[in-house]
Amino acid sequence: MQNILVMCTGNSCRSQMAHGYLEKLNNGFAQVYSAGIEVHGINSAAIAIMAEDGIDISDHTSNHIDEYLDKDFDFIITVCDHTNENCPYIPSKKAKRLHHNFMDPSKFDGSAEEKHKLYVKVRDEIKEYCQKFILRELH
């Protein structure tokens, strides 16, 4: 079984969405973890938007990367430019590092309807990325 780490700045939104999809869709090929270079707690809008697509991330926790320094990862995926640029050294012998910047919907200031549309857009982009990652890397 392979180990996947997904990271964003606060491990509250984008990395949690990717964690949820990778965990649900990988068919037992991998153990999925998520962390941040900071800890912001789980974003309630991310929980709600994932639930709309049948993915329950309500029991996830926001974790700091230091919690996983002794874990050997096969893949480390950063989902925001800030983390990609500021990610500390992670001592993993074989990790393949991947990066894709997703917009942070939690930073958007607009109406409730506009925010919902943006969360759906980002969620769907993350889902597509995760599906392609699984096909490309885990099969």
Q: What is the pLDDT of residue 85?
A: 79
Mean pLDDT value across residues 82-87? 76
Say how many C-beta atoms besides its own lie within 10 A of residue 92's C-beta. 19
Report pLDDT digits (tens) over 19-48. 999 999 999 999 999 999 889 899 999 999
85 against 132, higher pLDDT? 132
Domains along the chain with CATH numbers: 2-138 (3.40.50.2300)
Mean pLDDT value across residues 121-137? 97
Residue 86: pLDDT above 90?
A: no
DSSP code string of 101-120: ----GGG--S-HHHHHHHHH
Count of alpha carbons within 13 angstroms of residue 102, beta-carbon side: 30
Residues classed as catalytic: 8, 80, 87
Instruction: Report yes or no: 41 and 22 within 8 Å, Cβ to Cβ.
Output: no
